[in-house]
Amino acid sequence: MDTVRIFDTTLRDGEQSPGFSMNTSEKLRMARQLAALNVDVIEAGFPIASRGDLEAVQMVAKEVRDVPIAALARARKGDVSAALEALKPAVAPRLHVFLATSDLHLSVKLKMTREQALEDIGAMVRYGRQHVGVVEFSAEDAGRTDIDFLCKVCRVAVDAGATVLNLPDTVGYAVPEEYGAMFTRVREFLGDPDGITLSAHCHDDLGLAVANSLAAVRAGVRQIECTINGIGERAGNASLEEVVVALAVRKESFGVTTGIRLDQLFPASRLLTEITGAQVAPNKAVVGANAFAHEAGIHQDGIIKNPLTYEIISPQTVGVPNRSLVMGKHSGRNALRMTLKDLGFEANDAELAEIYRRVTTLADESKQLRARDILGIAHEVIRRRPAAMAAESSSIA
C-alpha cells in the first residue's frame, strides 16, 4: 500500500494567519508535538520574513532531529539564502521555493512575464540544489494557472533539480474533480518520473480543502500539506486531523496509508489551542468538543448498545479520552440511567421516570445541563425513598 507523506505547515502557513503568531519557544513546543505525531516534514517558518522567524527555524532545526525541517523562500536569491542559513542545523533540510504562476498573479502582483517566471524558477531551484539535497517547488495559485503553462513550470522545476512539486489551490477556488484533473494532466505531461513526488496544498475558502486534498490523493499525489486544526490564511488550510483520519477510516477506498500516530491528534490540537488561545469549533471533525458527544436519545441508545452504530472511529483512537453522553432535552432514559450510575445513583423505574421528567423540563429552559444540575435533581428525588418506604409500611400495617 502506498504511503502519503504528511507535510505539516502549522508553524508557517498556520502561523501567518491573524491571531496565531507564535514565539520561538512556542514554535519549539509545537514542533516537538508534531514530531510525536510522526509527521513526515515540519515547515518551520519563512526566514526572510524576520530575524525572529529565521532564528525560530534554526532552533526547531537544532532541537527536532528526527523529522525533516523545511523553510519557505520566494524565488529570490535573498529569500533562498536566508532559508539556507536557517536550515544549516537541520539533519534533513528541505528548501521550499515558490513563485506564483497564474497570469493574474504574474501580471498584477509580480509584474512579470511567463518567460521571466520560468527563468527565475529554474535559477532558484538550481541554486538551492547546490546547498541541500531536497528542494520542493510550489507553483503559487496553480489552481488558476493555465494548464499548459503549469506543465512547463513543472518541467523547468524538475529539470533544475526539484524532487517535490507542490501545486497549491492557494485561494480555495478549486473543486475536487478539477483539482484532481490538474494533477492527472501534469503527471501525464511529465511521464511520472522516478523520484518526483507530487504535493497538494489546499485552502478552505469554499470549505473544500480536505475534499480537494483527498481528490489529489486519488489522482496520484503522495504528499499532503496541511495544518493542525486547519489553521492558516483566511479560512485556513486542509485540516491535518481530518485528512489522515479520512485516509485511515477509508483505507480500502483510497489504497494508501500514512505514518501518523492517530492517538497524538487530540493532544496536538489541544496544545495548539493552548499556545494560540484560539478555540476549536465544537462541531469540528475529529477534535471538536462535540465530535464524540451524543445528546439525542436514539443515538445514545445506539452508542450504549454498540458504539459503531454512531461512531466510525473510537475517541481513544485519535487521543480523545472518552466519548460523552450529554444530557439535554433530546436525551433518552437509558443514557440518563447510565449518567446517574456514573454519578453514584441507582434509581428504580419510578425514580428514573421522575428524574427524567425534571431533567427534560430543565433542559427545555437552559441550553446545557451540568453534572451538578443532574446531581441536585437526583438527590431531591432519591432522598424521598426512605419516607416513601415508611409510608408504604404504615399503610400495610
d(C-alpha 242, C-alpha 257), whole Å: 14
d(C-alpha 142, C-alpha 150), whole Å: 7
- The residues spanned by each domain of the chain are 2-276, 293-387
Question: Could you tell me where the beta strands, DSSP code E, fall in the chain?
Answer: 2-3, 5-8, 41-45, 69-74, 93-100, 134-140, 164-166, 197-201, 223-226, 256-257, 293-294, 324-325
Alpha helices in 18-164 (DSSP H): 24-37, 51-63, 77-87, 103-104, 114-129, 147-160
Q: What is the pLDDT of residue 367?
A: 67
Pick from 184, 246, 261, 252: nearest CA to 1:
252
Q: Provide CB contacts within 8 A for 158, sequence distance 6+.
A: 165, 190, 193, 196
d(C-alpha 164, C-alpha 170), whole Å: 17
DSSP assignment letter at 17: S
Q: Provide CB contacts within 8 A for 53, sequence distance 6+.
A: 45, 46, 47
| Beta bridge pairs of residue 93 | 69
Report CA torsion sign: 137, 138, 143, 146.
Answer: negative
Pick from 241, 223, 230, 177: nearest CA to 207:
230
Q: What is the pLDDT of residue 385?
A: 64
Q: What is the pLDDT of residue 13?
A: 96
- Residue 266: its H or E element: helix 265-276
- Residue 205: its H or E element: none
Decide the pairing of beta strands 197-201 and 223-226. parallel
What pTM was computed for the model? 0.88
Three cell numbers written together for 215: 481528490
Q: What is the pLDDT of residue 6?
A: 98
Q: What is the pLDDT of residue 233?
A: 95
d(C-alpha 314, C-alpha 308), whole Å: 8
Three cell numbers written together for 297: 436519545
Three cell numbers written together for 23: 514565539
Per-residue pLDDT of the chain (397 residues; tens, 9 = 90+): 899 999 999 999 999 888 899 999 999 999 999 999 999 999 999 999 999 999 999 999 999 999 999 999 999 999 999 999 999 999 999 999 999 999 999 999 999 999 999 999 999 999 999 999 999 999 999 999 999 999 999 999 999 999 999 999 999 999 999 999 999 999 999 999 999 999 999 999 999 999 999 999 999 999 999 999 999 999 999 999 999 999 999 999 999 999 999 999 999 999 999 999 999 999 999 999 889 988 787 888 898 899 899 899 999 999 999 887 777 777 778 888 878 887 788 888 888 888 888 888 887 777 667 777 878 888 888 876 655 444 444 444 4
Give exposure, 10-25, as e/b (b: 16+ Cβ within 10 Å). Answer: bbbbbbbbeebebebe
Q: What is the pLDDT of residue 386?
A: 55
Instruction: Name the CATH topology of 2-276.
Output: TIM Barrel (3.20.20)
Phi/psi of residue 349, nearest 5 degrees? -60, -40
